[in-house]
Amino acid sequence: MLLLNFLKLCDGWGNVFSQQRTIKRAIRHSLMGLCSLGRGTITRAIMTAGRNFVDWSGDYYLYSRCQWEIKDLFQNIINKTVNNSYKNYVAVAWDETKIKKTGRKIPGVSYQRDPMSPPFHTNFILGHRYLQASALLPLHQKHNVSCRGIPVAFSAIPRIEKPKKKALKEEWAAYEIERKKHNLSTHFVERLNEMRLMYDKTDGKNKTLVATCDGAFCNRTVFNSNIERTIILTRCRKDLSLCFPATDSPRQVYDKEKFTPESKRKDNSIKWKTKKIFHGKKWREVKYKEIKNVLWQRGAKRKLLRLIVMKPVPYRISQNGRLYYRQPSYLLCDNIEAPVETLIQMYFDRWQIEVNFRDEKETLGIGQAQVWSDESVEKQPAFMVAAYSMLLLASLKAYGAKRTKNYGQHPRWRKKEERPSCLDLITQLRMEVVGDSDTTYRVGIETSANKFINSAAA
């Protein structure tokens, strides 16, 4: 069931690749890239498919010489996510991720800040930066399970070559201009505009696109983008300088009295409101404050914003222990009419993109392929992310949103899970690939359980 639904989704790649043999090779790479044991290299995918003694150059040319676009891979995936989205909205989570590398001469590699470094000491890593978008499917509306994030975009953030210390002033001036033009925020605006056009080609053309982001995207570049039928929802700083529109003078736009999100949280004159959202396997009550018609002079300028302040959630480490509080959250949105409970639910569901990052790096080994071509460095990780998206969609089509008896039984010490994990899906896919040799042979795969084990030594 899972294998057949996965292959049906691969049929949508007919418009991506120009030749039939290339489509066959792409399907083989997507299947074996997901099923192979060990590191996620192209060599192990070749050996798992039973092509040890066949010329392997065509497998590498799939990413370096074959003419295809990354966004075309995800168009078919976007078509499948529209029907499972909200009635009037499409929620898409955006975030950047970094993949570690060891070679300095790999195209696009640079030193970057390590997000896992401790707060008292910033470390650096050598690697690539990518921007990913994950469509948030509200499965809690029908199946009472947590939201599922489906990656619908994955692109490399361009690296601007820094001049040497002895370079001329003109070179440094040109570098500063290019650095401002090609950064994370400008790249995000370009991809967001591109995604709005991609959704217009589907049944989601009448739906509003909601981009949920973290604090890195709360800046003037993002809020001044003005993409039609698109809402920006980001986390903001607690000391952000905000104000209301001026009422004293018709020439004055901004009120002289400023306030911060933290001051509104402490303001007792604004009462807390309560809404129910689905988070952590069940429906929970959250308390919030909503302030409309807010202006951010240095960021969004004259655009009216909405400030949503989330009350800190109390928790205890033990049953009768001390009561602790989590950090409060402050959300900034450039839309005033959207239901506030929907926006809060979308932002809580944004965590699913972090789950996607964990599955892609730890389980699938995205970025571990040893490629050196400029095209391959960008295309190969995006190709495997698209295969991961189709695996998630195939599982929803084959077995539904919940973890049914079709998947393997967990050990006794494992807690009961309501939905299947990425490892559950890959294990089930491996079993079906080995058990259905007739289907896999059509795409050029001759594998067995022994070949899976032997490929781990490649």
Which residue segments constitute the domains of the chain, with CATH numbers given?
Answer: 68-421 (3.90.350.10)
Which residue type is seen at 71? K
Residue 452 has, within 13 A of its CA and on its CB side, a CA count of: 17
- Residue 132, pLDDT > 90, answer yes
- Residue 211, pLDDT > 90, answer yes
Q: Between the CA of residue 351 and those of 92, 146, 316, 332, 357, what are the distances in Å?
A: 11, 11, 22, 17, 10
Q: What is the pLDDT of residue 457?
A: 62
- The backbone region for 259, taken as left when phi is positive above 0, alpha when psi lies in -120 to 50, beta otherwise, is beta
Q: What is the pLDDT of residue 372?
A: 87
CB contact at 8 A, 128 and 156: yes
Q: What is the pLDDT of residue 458?
A: 56
**CA 27 to the chain's CA centroid:** 23
**Closest alpha carbon to 312 in 296, 297, 324, 299:** 324
Q: What is the pLDDT of residue 306?
A: 95
Contacts of 292 (CB under 8 A, 6+ apart): 304, 306, 307, 336
End-to-end C-alpha distance for the chain, whole angstroms? 30
Q: Between the CA of residue 92 and those of 308, 329, 401, what are the distances in Å?
A: 19, 19, 19
User: In angstroms, rounded to a whole number, what is the distance separating the alpha carbons of residues 359 and 380?
Assistant: 16
**Given pLDDT bands bounded at 50, 70 and 90, which one contains residue 290?**
very high
| Proportion of the chain above pLDDT 70, given as a percent | 97
Contacts of 229 (CB under 8 A, 6+ apart): 196, 207, 208, 209
- Residue 446, pLDDT > 60, answer yes
Contacts of 168 (CB under 8 A, 6+ apart): none
Q: What is the pLDDT of residue 441?
A: 67
Q: What is the pLDDT of residue 49?
A: 83
Computed over every residue of the chain, the mean pLDDT equals 89
173: tokens are: 């001036």
